[in-house]
Structure 1
Amino acid sequence: MIDVQTQETELKREIGLIDATLLVAGGMIGSGIFIVSADIVRNVGSSGWLIAVWLIGGFMTLAAALSYGELSAMYPKAGGQYVYLREAYNPLVAFLYGWSLFAVIQTGTIAAVGVSFSKFLAYFLPWASEDLVVFTLGNFKVSPAQLIAIGLIVFLTYVNKNGVRGGKIIQTVFTSTKLLSIIGLIIFGFIFFKADVWNLNWSEAWKLHRINIDGSSSEYIGKAAIGGAVASALVGSIMSYEAWNNVTFVAGEITNPRKNIGLSLLLGTVMVAAIYILLNLMFTAVLPMDQIALTEKDRVGIAASEAIFGSSGTAIIAVLIMIATFGCNNGLILAGARVYYSMSRDGVFFDKIAKLNKHAVPEFALWVQCIIACVLCLSGRYGDLLDMITFVAVIFYVLTIGGIFILRYTKPDVERPYKAPLYPFLPGLYILMGVAFCILLIIYKPQFTWPGLFIALSGIPVFYLLKLRR
């Protein structure tokens, strides 16, 4: 039940710089980094291009994070990116971002990460497998993995509704553990370095080609095809960096927010980018490129761990991914509710979501987010939803960074304790790269674009219905 006996009226600032940095890193590192390299290699075919894709994704994320620092210093309020869009554009644009977050970006990611936790739990508890069926209703089937994911989401929502302190502790402990574990995996990978595998992988490091599911390869003809291949590969990379901006959502609970939000964005994104690149370099040191591309169910992390540790490698990586997904989901749940809370405070979402409980957290927003995420778990469409997330998220990143230019012109007198470095070059470069990425996806992977765009635009009638109701 929602605790409404004694309500707070303001959020409490209990998140320090280290907590905020770990929220940035923890939100990004889930199960994706151990899986998506398989699809990247199928698209680019070589070790050099594999690392280049991770470098491009890391550069784009870092450029965006550095640019967001200016906005976070100007508007250190709960809701983060939603607030920046509202100030730079108008309430409708901001609402469409919040609506997309509510309908697919945040809730879909929470569902997918929860099911990933269950999948790897099944290595130790076979009855938790996603391949089993608990019950069916016609063509609708529910697996133990989906039910466990729902249980995990409900548990973490309950923890976070009891105050930001509990969620902060979980985030700090689990993110620290997974960072140390991944660093340990990278070190062991290079200790068991396989010179013959490394030399084979890097002998033709920049030969861009496609590796097909049957093991054959095909060449790309023309610059357009090459651009499409790189854009397709970037989907996995950018998706793995996704959620770096979640720390801006909890700006109302961060101490010294004008300084700490921008600094945590910088520290968190640099840390994760370095780990992702080193981890993929390690993959090329223990696994041939064909094996990375064609590993069973794309589980590159398991294949690499088995190459390092033998038969115990599967259990080691399963534990690591469970730690990663548990901490990742906690951060997503903690942060997402603050956006809906800010929307409701602006009068463009359901009234009750704007209320804080006696622990000074938006409890109703947390439970509504929990319900949507659980429904998406049951739908079985969480994988498809993730495909849409990258395109929609990048569109809003481009709009938000474009807001820096707009606000410099429309609100030149607003205090800016921190300014985007290398302005206008760095923010402008991100906008160009983001637009090019979205255009290439529209051309070469329309199945990733139009559904996500439709979900975002479906918020327009919702916005006006809510305004009309008021």
Structure 2
Amino acid sequence: MEAGKNELRRSMGVWTGISVVIGTVIGSGIFFKQGQVLETAGGTTAGLMAWLIGGLITLAGGLTVSEVGSRIPETGGIYIYMKKLYGGFAGFLTGWTQVAIYAPAIIASVAAYFSQLFANFFGIPMTWTPLIGIITVVLITALNSLDNRIAGAFQVATTSIKLIPIAALVIFGIFFGKADALGQTVAHVTSTGSGNFGLAILATLFAYDGWATLANLGGEIKNPSKNLPKAIVFGLLIVILAYVGVTYGIYQALPANKIVALGSEVPYTVATQAFGQLGGKLIAIGILVSMIGTLNGKMLAFPRMVYAMAEEGVLPRYLKRINQAKEPIAALWTTAVLAMILIVLSGADWLSDMAVFVIWLFYAATFCGVFILRAKDRKQGITLDANTFKAPLYPLVPLVAIGGALFVLINTLIASFSMVLISFVFVALGIPVYYYYQFKNK
């Protein structure tokens, strides 16, 4: 198709947007991170507060990005925001980082985790997990190659299903749990250390990551200036309630030291305790659905940024091809192939940690963009219309978002200096690519 005919379909409403936010954030973290966060925090009260504060920092980021997205309602997400705010070079590095590092690494890690749980549930040898992960990516990519309303409906369905095990854990813990949810301390300290509240918040922030992927769909959301902020804010509020609720329910159901000792087995133990062996299996199915929904949400959103960059002429032209269903088919399958390569060749845990660190660099810069946009409004005497979303309690909310970003970056720098250096190398590889396309497009 000709470039002028490339046009994505605006068919996603606010409920699909909310489902994308919930679906891309709630994956395995809330189920598997309970022991780590609790042990790091040192007690149940501090652990619960860590999940709450991590959620509030994430919400501040969501409110801040919502204002930027309301002003720049285009496909491409923070790639477009960074370009509009800081120029083409910064925009390209943002997009390059997502295309080359963040998107394929996150998709690969989610598919790898899914394949491990899938193999364990069905008794399949673990040597088959790379193949299961690849097949999963292929199937989800094929689904997203159809009309985006199909992938959107699948997102709504999986999001609804994934809330069932969350509700079960919350209800059982609150009404039938016999432990004290608050006031317990962790008696045994392992190598992760105990009583470090800051690192506990950091762990929850990684579990909350993924909400900004909705911004990549700005060109396909109906009335994006109004619906994009609604979807991000309400989606994050639901996620925060789910995370804090599950945490409280688990703390009420099991003693603190047992939660730490069980690690990733916590949800199965609570479910089995509540509903017997069947309950454990249902929780496993719920987590599998949760992870497949997360994978679908990321595959729905990430390729749109690849498409936007190809449209701008800073990535190969073939990546802006769309199919008869008006889907960015080349960007979809290129992202999928990169993810499948990483499933075979790379360590998913390490790559996902690096990807999350790198993306927070650009989150921080995007958060600062609110101050730039408002300063331009004052200078030019512009009054925003009623449909433009404004971050509440300005400048407090954007400052909290920026503070949260700096917190993530500094703590990661201290904890994993070598990983940070390697991540900067990957970002820097985009510099010659940028100048190549600058020269080519002259």
CA distance in structure 1 between the partners assigned to 2:412 and 2:351 by the alignment: 16
Q: Say yes or no: does 1:440 pair with 2:411.
A: yes
TM superposition shift of 1:100: 1.7
Task: Say if 1:401 and 1:125 are closer, same or farther in 2 by CA, change over 3 A.
Answer: same
Q: Is the 8 A contact 1:35 1:300 kept in 2?
A: yes
TM superposition shift of 1:421: 1.2
Task: Say if 1:97 and 1:307 are closer, same or farther in 2 by CA, change over 3 A.
Answer: farther
TM superposition shift of 1:287: 1.8
Task: Tell me which residue corresponds to 1:87.
Answer: 84
CA distance in structure 1 between the partners assigned to 2:156 and 2:63 by the alignment: 23
Q: Say yes or no: does 1:99 pair with 2:96.
A: yes
Task: Tell me which residue corresponds to 1:211.
Answer: 189
Q: Which amino acid letter does the alignment assign opposite residue 75 of structure 1?
A: I
Aligned residues: 436
Q: Say yes or no: does 1:48 pair with 2:36.
A: no
Q: Is the 8 A contact 1:287 1:304 kept in 2?
A: yes
CA distance in structure 1 between the partners assigned to 2:346 and 2:9 by the alignment: 37
CA distance in structure 2 between the partners assigned to 1:17 and 1:210 by the alignment: 46
Report matched runs for 1:209-288 at 5 Å: 211-212=189-190, 229-288=196-255
Task: Say if 1:414 and 1:96 are closer, same or farther in 2 by CA, change over 3 A.
Answer: farther
Q: Is the 8 A contact 1:16 1:254 kept in 2?
A: yes
User: Once structures 1 and 2 are overlaid, which stretch shifts more, 384-393 or 148-157?
Assistant: 384-393
Q: Say yes or no: does 1:171 pair with 2:155.
A: yes
CA distance in structure 1 between the partners assigned to 2:38 and 2:392 by the alignment: 33
Given the alignment, which residue of 55, 73, 76 partners 1:76? 73
CA RMSD of aligned residues (A): 2.3
Task: Tell me which residue corresponds to 1:140.
Answer: none
CA distance in structure 2 between the partners assigned to 1:252 and 1:447 by the alignment: 38
CA distance in structure 2 between the partners assigned to 1:447 and 1:290 by the alignment: 32
List per-residue Cα deviations over 1:437-461 (Å, max 9, x = no partner).
3213212332553333332233222
Given the alignment, which residue of 283, 292, 296 partners 2:259? 292
CA distance in structure 1 between the partners assigned to 2:134 and 2:153 by the alignment: 22
Q: Is the 8 A contact 2:169 2:270 kept in 1?
A: no
Task: Say if 1:389 and 1:238 are closer, same or farther in 2 by CA, change over 3 A.
Answer: farther
CA distance in structure 1 between the partners assigned to 2:149 and 2:438 by the alignment: 35
Q: Is the 8 A contact 2:104 2:339 kept in 1?
A: yes
Q: Which runs of 5+ in 1 are unaligned?
A: 131-142, 221-228
Q: Which runs of 5+ in 2 are unaligned?
A: none
TM superposition shift of 1:110: 1.0
List per-residue Cα deviations over 1:393-412 (Å, max 9, x = no partner).
22211110101111222355
List per-residue Cα deviations over 1:275-332 (Å, max 9, x = no partner).
0000001111112222222225x33322322332333343122101111011111110
Q: Say yes or no: does 1:359 pair with 2:354.
A: no
Give the TM-score normalised by structure 1.
0.87
Q: Is the 8 A contact 1:251 1:261 kept in 2?
A: yes
Task: Tell me which residue corresponds to 1:144.
Answer: 128
User: Once structures 1 and 2 are overlaid, which stretch shifts more, 329-338 or 100-109?
Assistant: 100-109
CA distance in structure 1 between the partners assigned to 2:383 and 2:327 by the alignment: 29
Task: Say if 1:448 and 1:268 are closer, same or farther in 2 by CA, change over 3 A.
Answer: farther
Report matched runs for 1:178-197 at 5 Å: 178-194=162-178, 197=179
CA distance in structure 1 between the partners assigned to 2:211 and 2:428 by the alignment: 24
Report matched runs for 1:331-370 at 5 Å: 331-370=297-336
TM superposition shift of 1:55: 1.1
User: Once structures 1 and 2 are overlaid, which stretch shifts more, 98-107 or 161-170?
Assistant: 98-107
Percent identical pairs in the alignment equals 29
TM superposition shift of 1:10: 1.1
CA distance in structure 2 between the partners assigned to 1:262 and 1:219 by the alignment: 37
CA distance in structure 2 between the partners assigned to 1:65 and 1:399 by the alignment: 14
Task: Say if 1:452 and 1:210 are closer, same or farther in 2 by CA, change over 3 A.
Answer: farther
Classify the secondary structure of the residue corresponding to 1:299. Answer: helix
Q: Which amino acid letter does the alignment assign opposite residue 292 of structure 2?
A: F
List per-residue Cα deviations over 1:60-113 (Å, max 9, x = no partner).
110011111211111111012111111111122122222221222222111111
Q: Say yes or no: does 1:453 pair with 2:424.
A: yes
Q: Is the 8 A contact 2:65 2:367 kept in 1?
A: yes
Task: Say if 1:258 and 1:39 are closer, same or farther in 2 by CA, change over 3 A.
Answer: same
Task: Tell me which residue corresponds to 1:154.
Answer: 138
